[in-house]
Amino acid sequence: MIFTHRVLVYWALLATWFLPVHNLAAASFVNWENPHVHPLDMTPDGTRLLAVNTADNRLLVFDLTASGPAPRLVATIPVGLDPVSVRARSNTEAWVVNHISDSVSIVDLTTLNVVATVHTDDEPADVVFAGSPQRAFITCSQVNTVMVVNPAQPQVVLKRLKLLGEDPRALAVSPDGSKVYAAIFESGNGSTVLGGGNLLPNRFPPNAVSDPLGPYDGVNPPPNSGSVFSPSINPTLPAPPPVALIVKKNAKGRWMDDNAGDWTKLVSGSKADASGRPVGWDLPDRDLAIIDAATLSVSYARGLMNLNMALAVHPSGVVTVVGTDATNEVRFEPNVNGRFLRVRLAAVHPAAPALVGRWDLNPHLDYSTPTVAQSEREKSIGDPRAVAWNAAGTRGFVAGMGSNNVVVVNRSGQRVARVEVDEGPTGLAVDEARGRLYVLNRFAASVSVVGLNDYQEKVRVPFFDPTPSPIKVGRKHLYGTHETSGLGHVACASCHVDGRMDRLAWDLGDPSGGMFSFDGQNTELGFSFPIDVPGFERAHPMKGPMTTQTLQDIIGKEPLHWRGDRKRLEEFNPAFVKLQGKNAQLSSEEMRQFEDFLATLTFPPNPFRNLDNSLPTHLPLPGHFTTGRFAPAGQPLPNGNAVNGLALFRNPRLMSVPTLPNFACTTCHTLPTGLGTNMTWKHDRFVPFPKGSDGESHLRLASTDSNTNVVFKIPQLRNLYEKVGMELTQSESLAGFGFAHHGAMDSIARFIAGTPNFFPGNDQEVADLVAFLLAFSGSDLPRGSETNLFEPPGPDSKDTHAAVGRQVTLNSAYPSPAESALLNTFLALADSGKVGLVVKGRQGGLERGYTYAGQGEFQSDRAWERVSAAQLRMRAGPGNELTWTVVPQGTQWRIGVDQDSDGRFDRDERE
């Protein structure tokens, strides 16, 4: 029997080794590409270095007292899924923030085990300790909250602070412990978009750019260089279509375009209704939240930068923040080529938050050209993800994740040195007692040791990394600033941050370009709709603003871009030269590597689904408001029923198109992605649309966008909750861009109820649809039919079950009723085959692992040993705590019992 168990498990593991490259990560490794926030820390006594190993879901403990320059790895402790931050609360206790698990693991550094798990709000990012009595402050990035808990009773939330900013992540504490600082990652840069180019009357947003009240008397598109366009318009082009326009608030509070046109009257002034805004509307640029640790009151500092990536407190008490600042208000690709953002260090004193100092961390660049010599590019820092100071405040250190280096600055923010390190540096820790700077290199899975006297790298200490080769090889094409840009400071990830979005829109058209034809694409589905819609006309190169799209699950979902004007990924290759300033395009092999990497990017668990991945029926909708179609505008929507929302989404009544009585949302937005179908109608059924010459897909394009940019790719709907924040029924918004290709549709509710396209019956139905669209990702939705003309089948979705990451730590053989109920749910979900389940922890002083094998049994990390779920529960106790974690189906054997996927179980290898 023992032999049989071993053989069965080994065959299960071997079966994953012979899958195609694109399926390898899905089989045993899921890549959410979540960013590090504070991945490296030292214990207060300076004896141990703590690092998160995100790919392996572990906390690494290094001994710093050993002789020689290299820290010695002494323990690897399983925590939650995708740990992104670690903080040492004392010499014997560390808190690890798990981004996917929505948890904080409290680790006993004496027993080297997780002794408690703190459940958090969605997507926690960082934790610090401050105040008297001491409190723990935890940023929860997706819901814009800071949880305040008592470290002695961490399961009890003392208060949730709602921050007025999108995506708070990195934290720091004032020297006296009285203040907590939170960097708002997606704070914006004071830019927003004005509608333009709508073809239907009474459609939101209004055509503000074409309004005669504007600074150009209604000329749309307006010029960007005096009275003309720069570059000049290609004389062979037809007249450019009217489009939306990006404007940005200047230091005087005026809303200006890139040609000094003043749009204030139509944005916040007396005629703000012309752009769909209330008079006095504002977009506060809140970059840094300042929390009083005693009173828990919150104030803000403004004017730092667009993406506030990391922060540290200078010994003087000044808060320093590093990140990037975009210039998306500048129109046209030739004008922004290689120069569309700056890498900055900002400083603000909490006593005078209105006084902000900012420094360009690349002072060797004058941005007069898109390309400089490679030797100059190597000096640049890109994608900064960490900052730290020495005790005297005379030297600061900034890690460039995209540039693979650390720059050294003086107290005035001026660069004094540069250190080349390993790939993807994201964490810094200063060890002045030993004259060392430790650098965590996330992509290379190593720690660099840098001398503080000569700023030279002394040694690199590698650690185990289960990341599949396609991710390791292809990542550099997304992040590598020195390799993929002309100035060495930008990359694809500068806008597609961590494979996602920067929450901005960009007008990357080109007046000197040519028209684009959609011939050969999946357009009419093999039949013509009996309604009056525009044809599939060629696309004009002056396309207007378009919001940055996520790169998650785009491979196999071609064509690409909002208009579907990139038939495959390879057609983006010219952007490395035309947009990023690189001297030459990537080679065909490099583009293949890039594509293989992008094919692994996966949507995380949906925070609005129930634990069993079902749709919620009573979902609160804070931040979502009525549009005025039924109740007066600006009132909170009631709780939404996503189950009813799904029914409405499939119901032709919502569309009410007289000539198409069976036309529903799912006719275009197929389930489970929301994308158009990859099929075409032939005779009496849908059949697959032929793939392209390079194997690319042809998802359906549509010509019913109701905008002058007529043709568009039916967009996926799985990350709509990431775009919430622009709300024009209120006096201020947290984001300057919302929905639709231009970002001028402010809210999901407005898209449903504020246009003549849809016919909900009341605000409750609006709320139900909002709830469904927020909970869209997660699959488990009814699929279309090959024989139903109005509900066609669509492509599969690379997303994650809602239960993945959920954890329970048992410290007793007798779990509480709530814990028992949760464990039973875990087991039932694992029995259904939708998820995997693992148990990790110390038993008798040994690190142990268990993987659920079905029928109530767990396979241990010894091949000969199986235990029942009941027996495993009984093994938990003080000093022998066990943490149960739901993991993606297919990853449970690697995470649970075979860390290196070599077919030999972990405990067997160590004994």
Tokens of 735: 């984001």
Q: Does pLDDT of 616 surpass 60?
A: yes
Tokens of 805: 């990451």
Q: What is the arrangement of strands in the sheet containing 103-108, beginning at the earlier edge strand?
A: 83-88, 93-98, 103-108, 113-119
pLDDT at 17: 36
Mean pLDDT for the chain overall: 93
pLDDT at 534: 55
Percent of the chain whose pLDDT exceeds 70? 95
Residues 196-218 have a mean pLDDT of 91
pLDDT at 503: 97
DSSP letter for 466, please. -
Q: How far apart are CA 204 and CA 542, in angstroms?
A: 22
Q: Is the peptide bond before 511 cis (omega within 30 degrees of 0)?
A: no
Residues in Cβ contact with 716 at an 8 Å cutoff, skipping those fewer than 6 apart: 553, 557, 673, 674, 675
Say if CB 257 and CB 263 are below 8 A apart.
yes
pLDDT at 666: 94
pLDDT at 528: 53
Q: List 106's β-bridge partners, or say none.
A: 95, 116
Say if CB 138 and CB 49 are below 8 A apart.
no
| Residues 622-642 pLDDT 10s | 999 999 999 999 999 999 999
pLDDT at 557: 96
pLDDT at 467: 97
Residues in Cβ contact with 350 at an 8 Å cutoff, skipping those fewer than 6 apart: 174, 179, 181, 290, 301, 317, 319
Q: How far apart are CA 378 and CA 380, in angstroms?
A: 5
Q: Does pLDDT of 519 surpass 90?
A: no
Look up residue 840 and give its amino acid: K
Q: How far apart are CA 739 and CA 711, in angstroms?
A: 17
- Reduced to 3 states, what is the DSSP secondary structure of residue 825? helix
Q: Does pLDDT of 68 surpass 90?
A: no
pLDDT band at residue 649 under the 50/70/90 scheme:
very high
Q: Which of 520, 525, 526 is nearest to 559 (CA)?
A: 520
Q: How far apart are CA 738 and CA 723, in angstroms?
A: 6
Q: Does pLDDT of 11 surpass 50?
A: no
Residues 524-539 have a mean pLDDT of 62
pLDDT at 13: 43
| Residues 693-707 pLDDT 10s | 888 899 998 876 677
Q: How far apart are CA 679 and CA 432, in angstroms?
A: 63
Q: Any idea where the domains of the chain sit in the sequence?
A: 2-29+806-910, 190-290, 604-803
Q: What is the arrangement of strands in the sheet containing 352-360, beginning at the earlier edge strand?
A: 307-313, 319-326, 341-349, 352-360
Q: Does pLDDT of 1 surpass 70?
A: no
Q: List 601's β-bridge partners, or say none.
A: 31
Residues 28-46 have a mean pLDDT of 97
Say if CB 191 and CB 472 are below 8 A apart.
no
Say if CB 131 and CB 113 are below 8 A apart.
no
pLDDT at 436: 97
Q: Does pLDDT of 20 surpass 70?
A: no
Spacing of C-alpha 67 from chain mean position: 41
Dihedral angle sign, alpha carbons of residues 606, 607, 612, 617: negative
